[in-house]
Structures are given as structure tokens and as C-alpha cells.
Structure 1
Amino acid sequence: MPANRPRPAGRNGIYRFAVATFGVLFASMGYRFDVRGAEHLPAEGPGVLAGNHIGFLDFTFVGYAARERGRLVRFASKASVFEIPVVGWLMRAMRHIPVERRSGARAYRRCLDLVDEGELVGLFPEATISRSWRLKPFKRGAAGIAVNRRVPLIPVIVWGGHRVLTVDGRRSLRRRIPITIMVGPPLEAGPHETVDALNVRLRAAMDVLLDDAIDTYPDAPRSDDDRWWLPHDRGGTAPDVATAAELDRAAVARIGDIFE
């Protein structure tokens, strides 16, 4: 693994201000955070965070967990977000990583550079939001970086955040929504382990965390109309995995993919 280069000064002040701002917003909504396993995040040094993708605010919730360790996470996000006035400037100032629609090669190299600087890099291996709320097949980017640079690969699961803001116009201003964030033990690539093998281990670890998060979630649907946020196999009205895959493929055709 290349020696970690010194971290550039960057604009961490802007990032920390953004974190504080989201913290105030979350507190004003009374969100009930349950962060478990934050001790698995390195207090210093590089690593790759791999999160599930169920809502538009997943990156803020993963970042919320990381703040317990005093860390800032540099997230990969689709390039179109960086084209939005003000938002794009903020994303660059916080050193997040734009991912081009047709190729993730440049973003992948940027992730490697950040890891070499001792940063935590955050990716969502599913690439797009899962409408079944279950894990979709994983892209190889997160595992590839971990194998390439021999850094910890840390699984993270968010549950409940999709009730706040997600696809298909689902959003809620309801106060006191519980949000569970579970961080699993770091996965270390074996001496001869392939990217695909580590990717399989990552998905298995995240499956276990996701089941645990659902099993221990403190809220239940208030009515049959409110069962949309539960997976089909848990009695919810979310599409089953096969149906959701068709919907996801249609969405990918519209917005592109990352880390192919």
C-alpha cells in the first residue's frame, strides 16, 4: 500500500459547518438516532465505508455516525449533483467525489488518491436506491479500493432514513422518526483475496446488519397505508426484490450507473 500522503488543509471548516447544520436540522425534527458500532470506524487513517442505499439522505446519516469518531467522510456521488448551483460548490469544498454517468474510472482514481491521503471514503455499492429496501447486487468499487490499497472495508447500514426522503415522491415531515445506523466490524482483504470474494463477504455482512436493524427498529406502521417502508418479506407493501429490480433497471436507464 502506498504511504499515506499528508492530508491537504482543504476546506474542512465548511464540511464541519455543514455537519453542524444538519445536526441542528435533525435535532429540530426530533429524529431518534440509534448509532451502533461507531467504534468500528477508525479514529484516524484511511478506510472505505460501504453503505446501503434506501434514501436521498443516506450520506448524511452515515456521516452522522462518523462524527462520533471525529471523522469526515468523502462520498462518491453522481456528477449531476455537482452541477447544481451552490450545492455543487459545497460538494467540491467538502471534497466529495463526482461520478460521471458513463464511467466511474476517474472517480475510482480520486477515491484511491483520498485513501492515500488517509481519508475515509464513502460509497454505496448498490449505486442506486433500492425500492425493495433489500440489498441489490453490488458494484465492485468499494471492495476494489479496499483490495487495491489494503485498507479496512467497513459495512454500514441505515434503516428508517427512507421514511424521511426517498424515491417515488416518498417524503415525510413527521417528527421523531427513529433512524438506526449500524456499523459493522471492518473487513480486511486476505493476502490473496480477490475483489469479487471480498465483495461477497461485504454483502453478506451488510445483509446481517440490515436484518438486525429491521428486527430491532422501534417503530411499526401506523396503518396498512403506512406499510410502504417495510420490505415485502417483512409484511410491508414495498415491491418484492424481483419487481423492484425491474423498477431499478428502468431508473438506471434514465440516470446512469456508477462504478460499473
Structure 2
Amino acid sequence: MRDLTYRLVIRACHVLFRTLGLKIDVAGADRLPKSGPVVVAANHSSFIDFMVVGEVGPARGRLVRFMAKQSVFDAPVSGQLLRGMHHIPVDRAHGATAARAAYRALQEGEVVGIYPEATIGRAFVVKDRADVKRGAAYLALATGAPIVPVAHWGVHRVFTVGGRVSLRRGTAVQVLVGDPIVALPGEDAEALTTRLHAVLVEMVEQLVEGYPQKPAEPHTAWWWPASHGGAAPAPQEARLLDEEARLRADAGRGA
């Protein structure tokens, strides 16, 4: 059976969700087209947010092929699973190879998942426009696929950067699917990315505003955004932390 590995992984994820007692709410899944090529563009705040972003696919009878960094494919277990699920490896040094693979998948009518922020945002809100990549827009323009924005919030409380892991039960995780974004006549990748960024910023802000488990003392909550009085790094500080982490990673690879 095609995609047997993917379907088994979905079941395993659901078992994990139940074990952790996650309260996952997905809104707007019907906005994902039921057929044809689609670029799903989501914010990135957790090592496992692909699990909840991917929930919008099966709800519409589809599976999302995520673009993920090469290092995850290089690991023995995760690599075998990712390849079995037909996800797409991204090597920062050879980005064109990943772009071609994503293009082929879209040409075959697949749903391709992309994180325009590239790396996890430590501020837990969408990164500044200058730090958002144009890959989703390029693929949409090249294939005619719509971009479906998917915002999520809360899963970073479970597992994210900085060694933050929590097995506390009952964490609320919210997912919001936006209306498909179609390129306007004459619109280039830069302008399309700017529109996508604005939509994701607004959607994440909507989820934060309506989050059902707001901290009683925001200033002590590491996971609550600084823009809402939380203890998470402000965007500029988060950007510096991201750069430091990237430099350490490059040094570890001998770059």
C-alpha cells in the first residue's frame, strides 16, 4: 500500500497526542484544496510542529510532504521514516536540489509543506519579514499552486529549542488554516512572500490572543511572547540567539 509508512506514523503521532493529553484544535481544514498541487506554509516554533501542521492533510484526504533539513534525514531511524513518507531533504549548501524535488512533487499534484522561517523562532511569534525565505513563493509561481497558510500555537510548550521539553498533560495546541493565497498578475516572489508573511503574522497573533491557557503570571512564562508581556525573548534578541546557534552548528560541521 502506498504511503503505508506515513499512515503508520500518523497513528503513532495520535497515540503520542493521547498519551500527552494534548488538546489539539484544528480550525479551517476545509480551506485546504482536496486535489491539485498545494504549498502549505507554516510558522515554525517546535521540533514537532510538523505533527500538528500535518493534521490538516488527512482531514482532507491528503498527506503533506514536508521539506526538512538534511541532518534529520542523515539520522538512521528518522531518515528511514522521512524517506518512507516521501518528505523532501533540504541541504543548505545545495538548495536547488531540494527546490527541484519540491517542484516535481507539486507537478505530481502533491501537497508540499514549507517553513518560510527556515529555523525555529525563539520568540514564538513569526520572525521579521527580513528573516523569511521566498521558497514557498517561488514554488507557487513556478507551478501555479496556491499557498495555504497554516498557523499553530502551543506545541512549542511540549518540545522546542533550548532544551525545553515538557511531558505535562493537557497542553492546548491550536492550528488555524487560512484561505489559499494565489499569486496576483505580475506579482513576483518578493511581493508574494510579503503578503504571506503578513497573513501568518496576523494568524499567529489571533491564536495567541485567543489561547485558552494564558499564563497567570506572563512575565515568568518562558513560552509566552514578549509582545504580550511574556518571558520569551523579544524578536531582536531571538534573532541573535538564532545566529549564535547557527554559528555553533556550522562550527560543529567544520564549516
Contact 1:47–1:115, Cα closer than 8 Å, also in 2: yes
Find the aligned partners of 1:17 and 1:80 in 2 and give their Cα distance: 23
Paired residue for 1:131?
A: 122
In the superposition, the TM-score normalised over structure 1's length comes to 0.91
Paired residue for 1:49?
A: 40
Paired residue for 1:204?
A: 198
Contact 1:31–1:179, Cα closer than 8 Å, also in 2: yes
- Aligned pair count reads 247
Matched, 1:146 2:146: no
SS in 2 for 1:151: coil
Find the aligned partners of 2:245 and 2:14 in 1 and give their Cα distance: 31
Find the aligned partners of 2:197 and 2:164 in 1 and give their Cα distance: 26
SS in 1 for 2:222: helix
Contact 2:219–2:229, Cα closer than 8 Å, also in 1: no
Paired residue for 1:6?
A: none
Structure 2 residue runs without a partner (length 5+): 251-255
Deviation string, structure 1 residues 23-69 (Cα, Å, up to 9, x no partner): 12102221111111111111121100001000001111101122211
In the superposition, the TM-score normalised over structure 2's length comes to 0.93
Contact 1:128–1:252, Cα closer than 8 Å, also in 2: no
Find the aligned partners of 1:242 and 1:225 in 2 and give their Cα distance: 18
SS in 2 for 1:103: helix
Q: Displaced runs of 4+ in structure 1, greater than 3 A?
A: 222-226
Find the aligned partners of 1:169 and 1:216 in 2 and give their Cα distance: 27
Paired residue for 1:166?
A: 160
Contact 1:101–1:255, Cα closer than 8 Å, also in 2: no
Find the aligned partners of 1:218 and 1:24 in 2 and give their Cα distance: 23
Paired residue for 1:72?
A: 63
Paired residue for 1:60?
A: 51
Paired residue for 2:22?
A: 31
Find the aligned partners of 1:211 and 1:255 in 2 and give their Cα distance: 30
SS in 2 for 1:201: helix
Deviation string, structure 1 residues 202-258 (Cα, Å, up to 9, x no partner): 0000011011100111002255675111110101011111111111111222346xx
Deviation at 1:186, TM superposition (A): 0.4
Contact 1:231–1:239, Cα closer than 8 Å, also in 2: yes
Contact 2:123–2:238, Cα closer than 8 Å, also in 1: yes
